[in-house]
């Protein structure tokens, strides 16, 4: 036997002897805890309404383009409003913007917008879009 092979054999055997008690003490792979209980049955017991998920327009996508949406490298607020309006009207099939929004919110709803401020210039929520998503007072009037 060559000297290198001898030391390799002794090393592997020694490592095996040291790790054997640790391996035996480790829990078996087949010992999984019992499945936790879920609330799926309770959720299914709640009657569905027109406003239940997945919503009134499940899986529908509205694509809106505007040739002047970016002006001098910045989003245009007027183009953002036009695109938001067109998208809402196309999605809902309404001709009035207030009626289109009423598919999603009522006059008594208070709406909060979650703005992403940490995504950098390309991924952050645009001020041009959020400024047109606010409702003014009770009555759901969309302000331009």
97 in a domain, yes or no? yes
Q: What pLDDT is attached to residue 144?
A: 40
Number of CB atoms found within 10 A of residue 28's CB? 6
Domain extent at residue 69: 56-142
Q: What pLDDT is attached to residue 99?
A: 92
Whether 118 contacts 124, CB under 8 Å? yes
30 in a domain, yes or no? no
Number of CB atoms found within 10 A of residue 80's CB? 20
- Distance from CA of residue 100 to its chain's centroid? 23
What's the total number of domains in the chain?
A: 1
16 in a domain, yes or no? no
11 in a domain, yes or no? no
pLDDT in tens, the chain (144 residues): 677 777 677 676 776 666 767 666 666 666 666 777 888 888 888 888 877 777 888 888 999 999 988 888 888 888 888 998 999 999 999 999 999 988 888 888 887 777 777 777 777 777 766 765 554 444 444 444
Q: What sections of the chain are H helices per DSSP?
A: 3-25, 40-45, 77-92, 97-101, 120-123, 127-130
């Amino acid at each position: 036997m060559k000297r290198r092979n001898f030391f390799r054999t002794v090393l592997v055997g020694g490592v095996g002897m040291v790790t054997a008690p640790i391996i035996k003490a480790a829990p078996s792979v087949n010992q999984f805890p019992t499945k936790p209980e879920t609330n799926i049955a309770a959720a299914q017991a709640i009657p569905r309404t027109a406003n239940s998920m997945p919503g009134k327009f499940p899986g529908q996508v509205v694509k809106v383009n505007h040739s002047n949406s970016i002006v001098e490298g910045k989003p245009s607020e007027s183009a953002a409003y036009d695109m938001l309006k067109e998208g809402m009207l196309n999605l809902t099939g309404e001709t009035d913007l207030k009626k289109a929004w009423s598919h999603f919110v009522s006059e008594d709803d208070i709406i909060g917008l979650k703005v992403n401020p940490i995504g950098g210039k390309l991924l952050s929520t645009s001020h041009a879009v959020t400024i047109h998503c606010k409702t003014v007072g009770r009555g759901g009037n969309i302000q331009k």
